[in-house]
C-alpha cells in the first residue's frame, strides 16, 4: 500500500509542476497521466480475488488509450521528451503482450513491471516542464507545438 501512496504523491507533484510551469505539451501530458491513473483506479480486475493472474483487459484498454494520447502529443510537440515517454509506455503494452503469450508469468512481475515504468515517465515530465521554464526564461518564449506544413512538392 505504501507504493500506491508514494506513486500518487509523485504523480501529484510531477503533474502539478507540469500544470504550473510547463507549456501546452507538459500540461496535456499531465492530463493524460492523471486521467489514466484515475481510470486505472476505477478499472475492474479480470479476477478480483486473484489480480494479475491473467491479462487485465481493463488495464490494457487504459494503457492503449494512454498510448494514443501520448503519441498524439509526441507527434505534435516541439519537444523530444514526449517521444521517450511514449516509448516507455509502449514497453508497458509489451508487458501485457508477454503476459498473454506466457500466462505463467508471475503475477507480481506482471503488476510490478507494468507499474514501475511510470516512475521514469513522471521524471521525464517534470524535467520537460523544468526545461520549458528554463528556455522561456532564457529566450523569452518557447514554442509548444511543431508547425503543420504541406510537404514540399517540386514544381513542374
Distance of CA 119 to the CA centre of its chain: 10
Q: Domain for residue 105, yes or no?
A: yes
pLDDT-wise least confident of 68-77, 91-100, 104-113:
104-113
104: cell is: 505463467
Dihedral-angle region of residue 140 (phi above 0 means left; psi in -120 to 50 means alpha; beta otherwise): left
Within a domain: 81: yes
- The percentage of residues in the chain with a pLDDT greater than 90, rounded to a whole number, is 60
Q: Is residue 150 part of a domain?
A: no
Domain count of the fold of the chain? 1
How do residues 5-51 score in pLDDT, each as one tens digit?
999 999 999 999 999 999 999 999 999 999 999 998 888 766 566 66
The pLDDT, as a whole number, for residue 75 is 94
pTM (2 d.p.): 0.87
Residue with cell 523569452: 140
Candidates 11, 7, 144, 125; CA nearest to 70 is 125
Contacts of residue 31, Cβ cutoff 8 Å, sequence gap at least 6: none
Amino acid at each position: 500500500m505504501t507504493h500506491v501512496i508514494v506513486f500518487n504523491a509523485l504523480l501529484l507533484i510531477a503533474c502539478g509542476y507540469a500544470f504550473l510551469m510547463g507549456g501546452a505539451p507538459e500540461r496535456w501530458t499531465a492530463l493524460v497521466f492523471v486521467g489514466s491513473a484515475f481510470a486505472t483506479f476505477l478499472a475492474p480486475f479480470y479476477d478480483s480475488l486473484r489480480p494479475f493472474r491473467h491479462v487485465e483487459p481493463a488495464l490494457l484498454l487504459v494503457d492503449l488509450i494512454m498510448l494514443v494520447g501520448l503519441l498524439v502529443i509526441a507527434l505534435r510537440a516541439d519537444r523530444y521528451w514526449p517521444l521517450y515517454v511514449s516509448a516507455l509506455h509502449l514497453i508497458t503494452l509489451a508487458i501485457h503482450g508477454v503476459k498473454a503469450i506466457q500466462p505463467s508469468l508471475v503475477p507480481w512481475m506482471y503488476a510490478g513491471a507494468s507499474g514501475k515504468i511510470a516512475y521514469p515517465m513522471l521524471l521525464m515530465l517534470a524535467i520537460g516542464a523544468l526545461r520549458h521554464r528554463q528556455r522561456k526564461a532564457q529566450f523569452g518564449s518557447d514554442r509548444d507545438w511543431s508547425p503543420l506544413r504541406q510537404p514540399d512538392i517540386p514544381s513542374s
